[in-house]
Amino acid sequence: MKPLFSLLISVTLLSAETWTRFRGPNGSGVATAANLPAEFGPDKNVIWKTPIPPGYSSPALTEDRLYLTAHEKARLFTLALDRKDGKLLWKVDAPADGIVRGVNTPVSPSPVTDGQNVYVFFETFGLVSYDKDGKERWRVPLGPFNKAPYGMAASPILYKDLVILQADQDTDSFLIAVNAADGKVRWKKERKDVTHGFSTPIVWEPKGQPAQLLVLGSYQLQALSAATGEKLWWINGMAWQAKSLPVLEGDHVYVHSWMADMSGIGLPKDIDPWEAVAEKSDLDKDGKLAQKEIPYEEMRKLMFLFDLNKDRFIDKDEWNVLFLRNQAKNGMYAISLPKSAAEAKGDRTESGVRWRYSKSLPNIPSPILYKDTVFLLKEGGIITSLNAKTGDMVKQGRLTGALDPYYASPVAADDKIFFASQAGKVSVVKAAGDWEMIAQNDLQEEIWATPAIAGGRIYLRTQGHMYCFGK
């Protein structure tokens, strides 16, 4: 039997581990937790199980709280549960109602917490902060947002005394930083070269350089000053629609960027630049194209996809979005970070890209870097492991028994990687380049939210329950 003081130390260390934002520490998806169960389910290795309303947001954990958002019809909520037993501590209505858009929910963005307070983003309202007892501290209305058909999904993050939100949409994209204490805007930067994205920033704090936000958007990975939002350097060649998070490891950042080929939805594979099209097709010379003036029949049929401001015309800016989209390249990139402030300026595409892998890429799930290996999760349960230094493929295979769609990103700890499918299957894989299946668990409810890991526990949200699993 362990001495009492040893048990107390173990409990203290257990509760001290947190997972304060989407995908945990700096969005990496990796925790230091140990002794995690490989086998679990509705009636196995359950520490607690709490019924909750649906939503796609992931939980954020303090030492004693679990925060998440949810919706019931048009009502939006922020919830706090006790980490110890899953008891509902409070449930607060959002300042505005929510409307479900397409296949997404109005509560897809995940909360972020500083250990005491929680900060949430609702696309039908904006940013709101609550204290640990559920009392509203401040609110910052934002929007309305223009992003169809999926709505907003980027989650707020914290850096020192700032709450930072990446709001990429069809028009009027921006990045904003507000004071965590009172919600007052510190800075806000327009992102005119960005449309339609879902990625969440991460933070890089290099020696001898200012802290930087690594922001994945349309066609570029950008590094911006965390203090001012100033654009410092960038890497070109990314896909149009950013979905996953960058992953930072040492002196490299790993970026996954993928978008379906235009020809896959019936559009021309190659299109002419605006100047050539306008000269031949803008018959009334008004600087924009009506539907009948668009030179490609396939594009006329799908004009609603590119009429970003919904004025029933395609102007130069909207055409250029389409043109750049056709030039962009899908890939999993390893990018060398600048070693000095002198290097951290301007276009670093030629000097920065260390390797690029272009096969079997995921749609939505972010990559995970663990044990010097990059793991990619593609629809149908296809797992690809890459050598993080070289980009060479080590192994590719399927998660037999879970050949499903995947929306949750993988998470890792204790030499295990957890892959949760939409159908509710959670596959546990040994973390190695030559990976192998350890166990597969069936939660019997849909899973859209990325799990959280802390203190020897796995916190997993289904569309009906919040689970805490542990040995």
Question: Do 85 and 162 sit in the same domain of this protein?
Answer: yes
Q: Partners of 11 in the beta sheet?
A: none
Residue 311 has pLDDT above 60, yes or no: yes
Rounded mean pLDDT, 248-266: 83
Residue 244 has pLDDT above 70, yes or no: yes
pTM above 0.75, yes or no: yes
Question: Do 44 and 115 sit in the same domain of this protein?
Answer: no
What CATH number does the domain containing 275 carry?
Answer: 1.10.238.10
- Helix (H) and strand (E) counts in the chain: 5, 35
Contact status, residue 434 vs residue 395, Cβ threshold 8 Å: yes
**Tens digit of pLDDT for each residue in 82-113?**
999 999 999 999 999 887 666 788 899 999 99
302, 326, 350 - which closes a domain: 326
Question: Do 50 and 71 sit in the same domain of this protein?
Answer: no
Residue 463 has pLDDT above 80, yes or no: yes
Question: Do 33 and 100 sit in the same domain of this protein?
Answer: no
Lowest mean pLDDT among 53-57, 312-316, 376-380: 312-316
What is the pLDDT confidence band of residue 5, given thresholds at 50, 70 and 90?
A: very low
Number of Cβ atoms within 10 Å of the Cβ of 292: 8
Whether 343 is in a domain gets the answer: no
Please give the pLDDT value at position 266: 62
What is the pLDDT confidence band of residue 239, given thresholds at 50, 70 and 90?
A: confident
Q: Which residue spans within 105-261 are E strands per DSSP?
A: 112-113, 118-122, 126-130, 136-141, 157-159, 162-167, 174-179, 185-190, 202-204, 212-217, 220-225, 231-236, 247-249, 252-257
What CATH number does the domain containing 465 carry?
Answer: 2.40.128.630
What is the pLDDT confidence band of residue 232, given thresholds at 50, 70 and 90?
A: very high
272, 306, 326 - which closes a domain: 326
Please give the pLDDT value at position 158: 98
**Tens digit of pLDDT for each residue in 361-419?**
999 999 999 999 999 999 999 999 999 999 999 999 999 999 999 999 999 999 999 99
Whether 387 is in a domain gets the answer: yes
Number of Cβ atoms within 10 Å of the Cβ of 327: 12
The Cα angle at residue 448 between residues 443 and 453, in degrees rounded to 5: 70
Q: DSSP states of 95-131 as a string?
A: SS-----TTS-TT-SPPEE-SS-EEEEETTTEEEEE-
Question: Do 29 and 99 sit in the same domain of this protein?
Answer: no
Q: DSSP states of 66-89 as a string?
A: EEEEEEETTEEEEEEEETTT--EE
Question: Do 26 and 76 sit in the same domain of this protein?
Answer: no
Residue 157 has pLDDT above 70, yes or no: yes
Question: Do 188 and 86 sit in the same domain of this protein?
Answer: yes
Question: Do 43 and 111 sit in the same domain of this protein?
Answer: no
Question: Do 114 and 24 sit in the same domain of this protein?
Answer: no
Contact status, residue 136 vs residue 129, Cβ threshold 8 Å: yes
Distances (CA, A) of 193 to 219, 292, 317: 9, 27, 9
Q: Is 281 left (phi over 0), alpha (psi -120 to 50) or beta?
A: alpha
Rounded mean pLDDT, 61-79: 96
Lowest mean pLDDT among 71-80, 240-249, 327-336: 327-336
Contact status, residue 161 vs residue 177, Cβ threshold 8 Å: no
What is the pLDDT confidence band of residue 265, given thresholds at 50, 70 and 90?
A: low
Rounded mean pLDDT, 241-262: 90
Rounded mean pLDDT, 343-365: 94
DSSP H or E stretch at residue 6: helix 4-16
Percent of the chain with pLDDT over 70: 93
Range picked from 47-61, 181-195, 337-351 for highest mean pLDDT: 47-61
Please give the pLDDT value at position 102: 66
* Token representation of residue 345: 């300026």
How many domains does one find in the chain? Answer: 3
Whether 213 is in a domain gets the answer: no
Whether 209 is in a domain gets the answer: no
Q: Which residue has the higher pLDDT, 277 or 418?
A: 418
Residue 7 has pLDDT above 70, yes or no: no
Whether 245 is in a domain gets the answer: no
Number of Cβ atoms within 10 Å of the Cβ of 99: 13
What is the pLDDT confidence band of residue 251, given thresholds at 50, 70 and 90?
A: very high
Residue with tokens 């194209």: 289
Residue 8 has pLDDT above 60, yes or no: no
Rounded mean pLDDT, 325-347: 89
Domain hosting 442: range is 19-54+364-471
Sign of CA dihedral 284, 289, 292, 294: positive
Averaged pLDDT score across all residues of the chain: 91
Rounded mean pLDDT, 442-453: 98
Please give the pLDDT value at position 390: 97
What is the pLDDT confidence band of residue 322, given thresholds at 50, 70 and 90?
A: confident
Residue 75 has pLDDT above 60, yes or no: yes
Please give the pLDDT value at position 317: 82
Rounded mean pLDDT, 181-199: 92
Question: Do 40 and 126 sit in the same domain of this protein?
Answer: no
Question: Do 161 and 178 sit in the same domain of this protein?
Answer: yes
Rounded mean pLDDT, 174-202: 94
